Amino acid sequence: PEDAMAPPPPDPQFVLRGANSAINALHFCQRDPHGPPALLSGSLSGLVHVWNLETRRVDAVLDGHDGKSVLWLETLAGKNLLLSQGRGLRICLWDLAEGRNTVADAWSSESVGFCKCSLLAAAAGRWLLAVPGKDMEEVQVLDLPSKTSVCTLKPAVGAKLGVPMCLKLWQAAGADPLLLAGYEDGSVVLWSVAERRVLSCLRSHREPVVSLDFDSEKAKGVSGSSEKTLNVWSLDGQQTLKASHTQELPNPGVADVLLRQDRKILATAGWDHRIRLFAWKKLKPLAVLDYHSAAVHCLAFSAPGGPGRQLLAAGSKDQRISIWSIYNQT
């Protein structure tokens, strides 16, 4: 045992079964302001399932990706517009209002690999969407809903970063949008979207950066790879990335890292079938959630302040989604 004095870890509040395919993406969405959130899941089989957390059954199945794995899900403006990203880079915009489940728009780009998109609200009714680019090493930033290209971020010749593996658009108050990207060579790179240039580069891992998240208030981020570590890094006032802490893990492989909205809890999805929770402030280990029988691929937190307690969802290669309600009082 990792800590003989620790209390036994909790069981999931409940488990969602019926996707019949490995779960690669999760996203909570508050469709009804007075009821529990809906949970959206994207699967290896190319389907998006809309789960009702009261009945614990599927309300709708969205089939827009021609059987290609769904990698990423995000809602625009709250609840009724859903973006889904399928492998081979087909992006669908779904209209979920008033019980509809229709594709309002869809577009494709010649991109390969498993890099997930990232979305940032830019202004009222406008968003920035970072997507893996047509060329292997590029990231393209699009304006939504127009889908026009804002810029293409291409590493300098000879940089040898390899392909982008994970993306995070963010914006400090009153500042221009920035992009953090994790690359195949283990680097985390900070890009200026407006200036289309690299502001800082940190060789955070020896292996490809599989997942990252960033706390813009504390200017501190975290990344995972196939290694047995979680790497924490910070951004100083000169916009330089600096390594700050390495958290050893019992087993290799971190498929997803996710900060809770209040920036108090960090959750990680492990290739070792386990979900780990840490206090974000000093990365103190809080709990190991051991339920799944295969690698955990993805995580999602429900919005705080809704009816009921805040939930954590985890999706796994074992085709199940576990729902947890823990550390709600911290």
For residue 329, the model assigns a pLDDT of 60
Pick the range with the lowest mean pLDDT from 52-66, 124-138, 144-158, 304-318.
Answer: 304-318
Report residue 30's pLDDT band, with 50, 70 and 90 as the boundaries: confident
Does the pLDDT at position 1 exceed 80? no
Dihedral pair phi/psi, residue 44, rounded to 5°: -60, -30
Q: What is the pLDDT of residue 112?
A: 77
- What span, in angstroms and rounded, lies between the C-alpha atoms of 147 and 170? 19
Q: Is the Cβ–Cβ distance between 181 and 187 less than 8 Å?
A: no
Token representation of residue 279: 């206090």
Q: What pLDDT is recorded for position 306?
A: 63
**Residues 37, 316: contact at Cβ < 8 Å?**
no
Q: Is the pLDDT of residue 7 over 90?
A: no
Angle, alpha carbons 104-109-111 (nearest 5°)? 135
Confidence band (pLDDT; 50, 70, 90) for 322?
very high
pTM of this prediction exceeds 0.85 = yes
Sign of the torsion formed by the C-alpha atoms of 277, 283, 285 and 286: negative
**What contacts 253, CB < 8 A, 6 or more positions away?**
210, 224, 226, 227, 270, 271, 272, 295
Angle 170-174-176 from CA coordinates, rounded to 5°: 50
CATH number of 112-220: 2.130.10.10
Mark 94-128 as b/e (b = at least 16 C-beta within 10 Å): bebeeeebeeeeeeeeebeeebbbbbbebeeeebb
Which has the higher per-residue pLDDT, 49 or 6?
49
pLDDT greater than 80 at residue 79: no
Domain boundaries, the chain: 112-220
What is d(CA 63, CA 49) in angstroms, rounded to the nearest whole number?
9
